[in-house]
Amino acid sequence: MTIRTRLALQFAAILAVTLLLFSLVIYFFTYQSRRNYFTDNLFARARVVAHVYLDGANRGDEASRATYRRYLRQFYRTLPAEEVQVYDAQNRVVFREGQQTVQPVPKSLLTSVRQTGSVVEQRPGNAQTVGLLYRDPHRGDFVVVASSVDTDSQVEQRTLRTILASGLLISFGIVGVGGWFFARQALRPMQRIVQEVDTITAFDLHRRLSQADGQDEVSHLAQRFNSLLDRLETAFAGQRTFVRDASHELRTPLTVLTGELEVALLQERNPAEYRRVLQSTLDAARMLTALTNGLLQIARASDDPSQVPMAPVRLDELLLQAHEEVLRRQPTCRVDLEFGEPTLPGGSFEVLGNEPLLLSAVLNVLENACKFSKDSQEPIMAILTCLGREVQLQVRDRGVGMTEADRQQVFVPFFRAEAIRTVPGHGIGLPLTAKIMALHGGSIRVDSELGAGTQVTLRLPTTSL
């Protein structure tokens, strides 16, 4: 079922239930009002007959009483199927007005009237019987029982039912058609969005939806979708750049491997020459392995954080471990460590993260500092401090440094600054570190000056409360 159909049905159902309840309320209160009005008229008729009985009883002859009854019958409108009876203290009928029936009034009704003063009894077919206790100092107490059928209410209620039923049917039709067009108008912006989305492909992600300039829910949806397109465009551009640069970097060691092997197979060579070829091939294979491992680490660091296992990690212990590994890889490099005191009570160097990824990030920063400051006599400083709710690691070197233009490109994969093109590497260390820091909710900052050295600052949130 389409949203348009569902909206139309829901709109029609809500309005139909509302109209039905409103009609029932009108019918009920009309019925109650007419019934109360008829009851009041029946009580009034009972009082009139009581007065007729009293005044007629005071007259001397039956003819006078009959004349008085005819006069009252002309003066007061007779109710349909009216019957009024007057009972004395011994429950005997002493006066009768209206139609004559042989059905006696139940004694229980007369008893209730004498006890409560008045009684209303509903009977089938809109018939009512009322009893009224009338007190007279001369004639004593007597009970007036009046019965009638509310035929007018039957006709009026039947007419009202017909009008309400016809009105409901007509309203249902109008609501159904109106709800269908209302749903169409409400969903028209969504249809335009769908049409625009269908025209966007992977080759024109620069296009954006045109319904994002309002304040309604559809505009908010278009804004969110445009934000998604922004992220997709950035991701696709980064992927294309990554694939292009990775292909270029992988081509170099593969070309070396192929060239060395082809040259070695052209003619017979002495063992020393074969050894040189094998050594060159091994170096190229190692370069290819290092590059492949770096690419795999970048891909892993780009994963969903919820899919990467996290655990408490002590950065001071991790720094010591990275320091030992860097000295093993770069024996001639000097790295001095410095551990600061926490600025807040209870602070620690413990963070929540993935230890292998964090170790790789710290190793990349330390190893870059060693590679790019080989000609410097100054030691590399690695300073670990706890600043409030963050742990900060600063790595300073006095190496070649870089220009401001190169510094702004250091997080682009495979980018290498002009001043360090002669230093072995692939340009994936800092981009990998940046992705690892982002994965852990941290940050990285690079400050550098050509000829004066570089400072890399890593910050991670601590687990301390």
CATH code at position 263? 1.10.287.130
Overall domain count for the chain:
3
The CATH number of residue 41's host domain is 3.30.450.20
Q: Do 86 and 122 lie in a common domain?
A: yes
**In the predicted model, is pLDDT for residue 279 greater than 70?**
yes
Q: Do 314 and 430 lie in a common domain?
A: yes
Q: Which of 241, 268, 300 is the last residue of a domain?
A: 300
Residue 236 in domain:
yes
Position 68 scores a pLDDT of 55
Residue 146 in domain:
yes
Position 414 scores a pLDDT of 62
Question: What are 407-448's pLDDT values in tens digits?
Answer: 777 777 666 666 555 556 556 678 878 888 888 888 999 888
Q: Do 293 and 227 lie in a common domain?
A: yes
Q: Which of 280, 300, 320 is the last residue of a domain?
A: 300
The residue among 96, 104, 87 whose CA lies nearest residue 66 is 96
Q: Do 8 and 151 lie in a common domain?
A: yes
Residue pointed to by tokens 């900052």? 445
**In the predicted model, is pLDDT for residue 233 greater than 60?**
yes
Q: Do 331 and 282 lie in a common domain?
A: no
Question: What are 439-453's pLDDT values in tens digits?
Answer: 888 899 988 888 788
Contacts for 87 with CB less than 8 Å, ≥ 6 apart = 93, 94, 105, 110, 142, 143, 144, 145
Q: What is the pTM of this model?
A: 0.47
Position 58 scores a pLDDT of 47
Q: Do 267 and 333 lie in a common domain?
A: no
Residue 287 in domain:
yes
Q: Do 293 and 357 lie in a common domain?
A: no
Position 60 scores a pLDDT of 45
Residue 410 in domain:
yes
Q: Do 314 and 292 lie in a common domain?
A: no
**In the predicted model, is pLDDT for residue 238 greater than 70?**
no
Tell me the residue range of the domain where 121 lies: 3-157
Residue pointed to by tokens 């349909």? 80
Q: What is the DSSP letter of 303?
A: S
* Mean model confidence pLDDT for the chain: 76
Residue 172 in domain:
no
Residue 182 in domain:
no
Mean pLDDT of 115-128: 80
Range of weakest confidence among 218-232, 316-330, 378-392, 436-450: 218-232
C-beta of residue 212 within 8 angstroms of C-beta of residue 219: yes
Q: Which of 254, 277, 300 is the last residue of a domain?
A: 300
Q: Do 127 and 266 lie in a common domain?
A: no
Mean pLDDT of 350-369: 85
The CATH number of residue 333's host domain is 3.30.565.10
Question: What are 158-188's pLDDT values in tens digits?
Answer: 888 888 888 888 888 888 788 777 777 777 7
- More confident position, 17 or 372: 17
Position 458 scores a pLDDT of 92
Q: Do 115 and 234 lie in a common domain?
A: no
Position 239 scores a pLDDT of 67
Position 224 scores a pLDDT of 80
**In the predicted model, is pLDDT for residue 248 greater than 60?**
no
Strands (DSSP E) found in 241-322: 311-314
Position 161 scores a pLDDT of 84
Distances (CA, A) of 312 to 75, 191, 355, 358: 103, 49, 9, 12
Question: What are 48-89's pLDDT values in tens digits?
Answer: 777 777 776 545 456 655 655 565 555 455 677 777 888 887
Q: Which amino acid is at 58?
A: N
Position 293 scores a pLDDT of 65
Distance (Å, whole) CA 127 – CA 132: 17
Q: Do 377 and 232 lie in a common domain?
A: no
Residue 68 in domain:
yes
Q: Do 380 and 424 lie in a common domain?
A: yes
Position 457 scores a pLDDT of 92
Residue 83 in domain:
yes
> φ and ψ at 291, to 5 degrees?
-65, -40
